Chains A and B, each alone.
Chain A
């Protein structure tokens, strides 16, 4: 059962285009995260949010931006896509508990040509 929805699942786009990756959740979790994962590599945290109107940059520098206007929605935007942005982007949520596990979406696999 999918409680975290990421769209699109796959995206191929040309250099210079603006794109928004969508992430929505139905679990009412306050905390949401974006991870970037290259094939065979570890997940890197690029953005996170602990609630509405709260966004922070993660450990890996990213040219993307995020917004959190509603609890259930945490979109990620690239103003001008480049081939170096080609990667898989994973959205996740968790409860407020300090040690609660993450719940992941299916990811968006982005290719910039």
Chain B
């Protein structure tokens, strides 16, 4: 079945460390890609998105993601994390092949130790 995969379920790191969360999808054709974040006790909110153009997109709070079409990947990165980045991160794909409905990955729970 076509899907969105986030390989890391839990990540624990210290402040100032670099973060990279993997996201792979299996849809061919045109895709729109998103990363959502859910801070503790808050609702899901958009972190960044890719539709077309420059494959390196920048989002809020210093996050960026790179779309690599040949690898079907859209990995999320942040060079230096803060304690406030503790949250759950979800990759999502809107694909023509999936009827343009948004499909989410399983999420990665990130804990940043102060």
Interface residues of A (CB under 8 A from B): 2, 4, 33, 35, 40-45, 48, 58-59, 90, 92, 98-99, 101-102, 104-107
A-B contact pairs, 30 of them (CB 8 A): A4-B43, A33-B102, A35-B104, A40-B9, A40-B106, A40-B107, A41-B107, A42-B90, A42-B105, A42-B106, A42-B107, A45-B101, A48-B101, A58-B101, A59-B101, A59-B103, A90-B44, A98-B32, A98-B100, A99-B32, A99-B49, A99-B51, A99-B94, A101-B34, A101-B46, A101-B49, A102-B44, A105-B43, A106-B42, A107-B43
- Which residues on B sit within 8 Å (CB–CB) of A44? 104
CA distance A59 to B102 in the complex (A): 10
Main secondary structure of the interface of A (DSSP, over half): loop
CA distance A70 to B92 in the complex (A): 28
How many residues from B make CB contacts under 8 Å with A? 23
In contact, B44 and A40 (Cβ under 8 angstroms)? no
Q: Does B4 contact A (CB under 8 A)?
A: yes
CB nearest neighbor in A for B101: A45
CB nearest neighbor in A for B94: A99
CA distance A59 to B107 in the complex (A): 18
Contact with A along B70-108 (1 / 0, CB 8 A): 000000000000000000001000100000111111110
- Which residues on B sit within 8 Å (CB–CB) of A99? 32, 49, 51, 94
CA distance A92 to B38 in the complex (A): 14
In contact, B44 and A104 (Cβ under 8 angstroms)? yes
In contact, A41 and B44 (Cβ under 8 angstroms)? no
- Which residues on B sit within 8 Å (CB–CB) of A98? 32, 94, 100
- Which residues on A sit within 8 Å (CB–CB) of B107? 40-42
Q: A45-B101, A98-B100, A99-B51 are in contact. List 13 more A-B contacts (CB 8 A).
A: A33-B102, A42-B90, A45-B102, A58-B101, A90-B44, A98-B32, A99-B32, A101-B46, A102-B36, A102-B102, A104-B36, A104-B43, A105-B43
- Shortest 4 CB-CB contacts between residues of A and residues of B: A104-B44, A43-B104, A42-B106, A99-B32
